[in-house]
Copies of this chain bind each other. A is one copy, B any other.
Amino acid sequence: MVVVMRGGASGTDVDKVVKAISEVGGDAFVSRGKHQTIIGLVGDPTQFAELPLHAFPGVEDVISVSKPYKLVSTETHPRPSTVWVGDTPIGRDTVTLLAGPCAVESVEQTEAACGLAVEAGATILRGGAYKPRTSPYAFQGLGEPGLDILHGVARDLDRPFVTEVVTPADVDVVAAKADMLQIGARNMQNFQLLKEVGMAGKPVLLKRGLTATIDEWIMAAEYIAHTGNLQVVLCERGIRTYEPSTRNTLDVSAVPVAQSLTHLPVIVDPSHSGGKRELVLPLIRAGIAVGADGVIVDVHNRPETALCDGPQALVKDDMLHLRETVSRYASAGGREVATVDRTRRSGAWGRSATA
């Protein structure tokens, strides 16, 4: 950390800062210039985090120069992690395809959409039973019956699945069936949910909030890690900007930036950011090319009847193209498409391990 003093700050002001730093066990180096004095703080940043240095007399600014996260940081754990979802890995050496319907609407639709996903090569299925919706009048998901449908379909197709949890009270029931729990963009800073999902012990898919900085997103992962659960996969899904022609702006730079800051896998959601079917394949290509460890894609058998986000779902005719695209761009980067590793499966589903 660096404390920048105001032009007119007195020697006493500087001393007070130095003293406060020492009291919490840090070292303070004072750079006294003609116009301005700067104090460099060296030590564990969590020591200083609680000091209200901004409010000290004579202080103009306090600048953080080290990252506030530890457990998920590459500084403390330089080797990239692999998160196993059932018998499928998500990690730096492979490209994992997660696919399925945005929302579970019925047995038939879930079977059809998940069947398409498997056809395209998906090794992890996805589907929403609990939907956070902007309007109280919109379809809110089938809830527990939806979870049961998805669970049944996934077991029939012999694939693990990920599904969203929207409130702490649902964590137990969802964790009992799902192989991976998703925290949606709107809940990225629902800290109680982060903690309870972390404690459920299942792998977690953590979407970036609509206007979360990369640091805030990684701090949300740190909340989960802080419960002892390091099986966290980050998911870039588009940020809110001034541009009106896409629903959100897919921030592909966030993938290599996050991969340099954290050992956690980072995947991309090209369906929700573009908001239009014709953008999904281009954004899958961009996501894999930039280095994402996987992509999560909406598919639907009959998008024109979808209860949620139909316009952006890939359809039957896209499946072959999806499979080839993932494969071709994984190869271009010298990686393989993730496949099921049966040796990882030991009787029970949902057992995962961090490399």
Q: Is A239 an interface residue (CB 8 A)?
A: yes
- Of the candidates B168, B214, B304, B329, the one whose C-beta lies within 8 Å of that of A56 is B304
Chain B residues with Cβ below 8 Å from A38 are 2, 29, 40, 42, 65
* Count of A interface residues, CB-CB < 8 Å: 104
- Of the candidates B54, B55, B303, the one whose C-beta lies within 8 Å of that of A55 is B303
A61 touching B52 by the CB < 8 A rule?
Answer: no
From A85-93, A107-115, A189-197, A344-352, the one touching the partner chain is A189-197
Majority DSSP secondary structure for residues of A touching B: mixed
Query: How close is A328's CB to chain B, nearest CB, in angstroms?
Result: 5
Chain B residues with Cβ below 8 Å from A306 are 52, 55
Chain B residues with Cβ below 8 Å from A132 are 189, 191
Query: How close is A127's CB to chain B, nearest CB, in angstroms?
Result: 17
A47 to chain B: closest residue by CB? B137
A256 touching B278 by the CB < 8 A rule?
Answer: yes
From A118-126, A145-153, A155-163, A283-291, the one touching the partner chain is A283-291
Identical chains bound together, number: 4
A249 touching B249 by the CB < 8 A rule?
Answer: yes
Contact mask for chain A residues 66-84; partner B; CB cutoff 8 A; 1 contact, 0 none: 1010000001000000000
Query: How close is A289's CB to chain B, nearest CB, in angstroms?
Result: 3
Chain B residues with Cβ below 8 Å from A216 are 134
A303 touching B49 by the CB < 8 A rule?
Answer: no
B168 touching A167 by the CB < 8 A rule?
Answer: yes
- Of the candidates B57, B63, B135, the one whose C-beta lies within 8 Å of that of A222 is B135
Taken together as a complex, chains A and B put the C-alpha atoms of A134 and B213 apart, in Å, by 11
B226 touching A253 by the CB < 8 A rule?
Answer: no
Chain B residues with Cβ below 8 Å from A279 are 253, 256-257
From A172-180, A240-248, A335-343, the one touching the partner chain is A240-248
A49 touching B252 by the CB < 8 A rule?
Answer: no
Chain B residues with Cβ below 8 Å from A226 are 136
**Interface-central residue, A27, A241, A255, by most chain B CB under 10 Å:** A241
A140 to chain B: closest residue by CB? B191
Chain B residues with Cβ below 8 Å from A61 are 65
B7 touching A75 by the CB < 8 A rule?
Answer: yes
- Of the candidates B245, B254, B283, B303, the one whose C-beta lies within 8 Å of that of A290 is B283
**Interface-central residue, A34, A43, A136, A215, by most chain B CB under 10 Å:** A136
Listed by A's residue number, 7 A-B pairs whose Cβ atoms lie within 8 Å are A35-B66, A36-B65, A38-B65, A167-B193, A186-B190, A252-B282, A289-B290
For the complex with contacts A4-B65, A55-B310, A56-B304, 17 further pairs of A-B residues with Cβ separation under 8 Å are: A2-B38, A35-B66, A35-B75, A36-B66, A49-B137, A54-B310, A167-B190, A167-B192, A169-B192, A214-B245, A215-B245, A241-B241, A246-B257, A249-B249, A252-B252, A289-B289, A328-B332
